[in-house]
Structure 1
Amino acid sequence: MEDTHFIIPHFCNEKDIHLFGIMDGHRGAAAAEFSAGALPGFLQNLVSVNSPSQALLEAFVKTDVAFRNELNSRRKSKGDIQKDSHPGCTAVTALIVKSKLFVANAGDCRTIICRAGNPYALSRDHVASCLDERERVIAAGGHVEWKVDTWRIGPAALQVTRSIGDDDLKPFVTAEPEITETSLSAEDEYIVMASDGLWDVVSNTDVVNIIKDTVKEPGMCSKRLSTEAAERGSKDNITVIVVFLRPVSTAERIY
């Protein structure tokens, strides 16, 4: 299992602030495990003195720098990280501040919101098959080539163009997330966050239709979605967080 997550209601001991996140590791679980522990701490220190969007941006970058420094320290001390090991992870977080929802994403985890019964994407997948991401990587000095039916980056043949870790592919595989800000309204029912193990085989519309036919309890919905992905042949780790927005604190993950 290379996925990790966090669910932190009443973040910073504030009743109207809630934080959720999923990290999907690759080339090992080290980056995902480190990020799940470190990112909320960085964000807690930043959110009181910055706007939520700026705090999220800086928290992602600080987590990336801290993890790569940790890797270097362990390499120098001849720890359990080999010199040719370059673990990384994609990450998506959702920060709810009163009636505002901030989603920060780096990689191919995804968050959608169900509004008046329809799905709306709150993040986009950062993969080399996206032209603008591919051009950004090339402009930053990265090498992209077509391998195994898709565009991939560097000798590691990585598909994602943004991640925490992957120190052999910095700076062109950046840890800087894209951030969306949404004003929540009475039409907003729930958000679904998941690693690509779900999204590879279940569309945004399918997710809403599945939840429509499921008991409106976050654990039941999460499990139903992960089971559906497995039945459709997903070979990747599957982590799903469903957050019902009335009340916001009802959330659960299943993987």
Structure 2
Amino acid sequence: MILTDPFVYFQKDFWTDTENAIRNAYRSTDAVILQQSLKLGKGGSTAVTGILIDGQKLVVANVGDSRAVMSKNGVAHQLSVDHEPSKEKKEIEKRGGFVSNIPGDVPRVDGQLAVARAFGDKSLKIHLSSEPDITHQAIDDHTEFILFASDGIWKVLSNQEAVDAIKSIKDPHAAAKHLIEEAISKKSKDDISCIVVKLH
């Protein structure tokens, strides 16, 4: 999972056409990962990114089930979209793939991948998308922090539970560490990555 900007391939039109620049950066990142699949392996990655502009506007983009959550007055607000195969079944089928729904398991693309969008995953790429969803959020005096985390957090904690677990911890590094430890204590079996950005 990529938690911070994949924008080593930043587009020069970032300030004039932010959304298009982000989409191009995601496409470029996916292309580089695919080109290096022999070295990196056949797997893939989800991603969530956040760009704060002038301290007032937050632009969040993501592919897959890595998630951004904002705490405002102690209330959790999800800023990203979880790309679940069941929600994008028609698009996957248009690309020639299928979504399995075996009892006791989560829906999977071609019976394998539990997300509909990702970087990499070369063997499934023809049926997957790396196109990000992008949202814009106003940052004001009531915004306390932004939490970026992989699904290892979200499989065992709700958005509000995650916010409640760290809202009294002032140091963002300590807050992220505490949230990771909380997920481990709840027996999370997925990848766990987390960044906390404190505001004001």
State the TM-score, normalizing by the size of structure 1: 0.72
Match of residue 249 from structure 1: none
Code of the residue aligned with 1:41 in structure 2: it is: V
- Closer, same or farther in 2 for the Cα pair 1:48/1:139, shift >3 Å? closer
Q: Which has the higher strand share?
A: 1
Match of residue 113 from structure 1: 70
- Closer, same or farther in 2 for the Cα pair 1:240/1:107, shift >3 Å? same
- The answer to whether structure 1 residue 208 and structure 2 residue 163 are counterparts is yes
**2:30 touches 2:130 (CA, 8 Å); kept in 1?**
yes
- The answer to whether structure 1 residue 70 and structure 2 residue 36 are counterparts is yes
- Closer, same or farther in 2 for the Cα pair 1:48/1:125, shift >3 Å? closer
- The answer to whether structure 1 residue 95 and structure 2 residue 47 are counterparts is no
TM-aligned CA deviation for residue 167 of structure 1? 1.9
- Closer, same or farther in 2 for the Cα pair 1:139/1:233, shift >3 Å? same
Code of the residue aligned with 2:185 in structure 1: it is: E
| 1:106-127 deviation digits (Å, cap 9, x = unpaired) | 0010001011211100002112
Task: Find the partner of 1:60 among 15, 22, 26.
Answer: 26
State the TM-score, normalizing by the size of structure 2: 0.90
Task: Find the partner of 2:171 among 201, 214, 217.
Answer: 217
5 Å-filtered alignment, 1:5-154, equals 5=3, 20-21=4-5, 39-43=6-10, 45-48=11-14, 50-71=16-37, 74=38, 86-98=42-54, 99-129=56-86, 131=87, 133-147=88-102, 148-154=104-110
TM-aligned CA deviation for residue 57 of structure 1? 0.9
> How large is the Cα RMSD of the aligned pairs?
1.9
**1:142 touches 1:153 (CA, 8 Å); kept in 2?**
yes
- Closer, same or farther in 2 for the Cα pair 1:103/1:48, shift >3 Å? closer
- Closer, same or farther in 2 for the Cα pair 1:50/1:142, shift >3 Å? farther
**1:46 touches 1:59 (CA, 8 Å); kept in 2?**
no
1: CA distance, partners of 2:155 / 2:118: 18
Matched residues, percent identical? 34
Code of the residue aligned with 1:51 in structure 2: it is: D
2: CA distance, partners of 1:91 / 1:243: 16
| 1:58-88 deviation digits (Å, cap 9, x = unpaired) | 10011112222333xx5xxxxx57xxx5221
2: CA distance, partners of 1:239 / 1:200: 12
2: CA distance, partners of 1:160 / 1:220: 30
1:138 partner SS: helix
2: CA distance, partners of 1:41 / 1:50: 18
- Closer, same or farther in 2 for the Cα pair 1:48/1:128, shift >3 Å? closer
1:64 partner SS: helix
TM-aligned CA deviation for residue 179 of structure 1? 0.4
Runs of 4+ in 1 over 6 A off after TM superposition: none
1: CA distance, partners of 2:15 / 2:50: 19
Code of the residue aligned with 1:188 in structure 2: it is: T
Higher relative contact order (CA 8 A, sep 6+): 2
**2:84 touches 2:116 (CA, 8 Å); kept in 1?**
yes
2: CA distance, partners of 1:237 / 1:174: 21
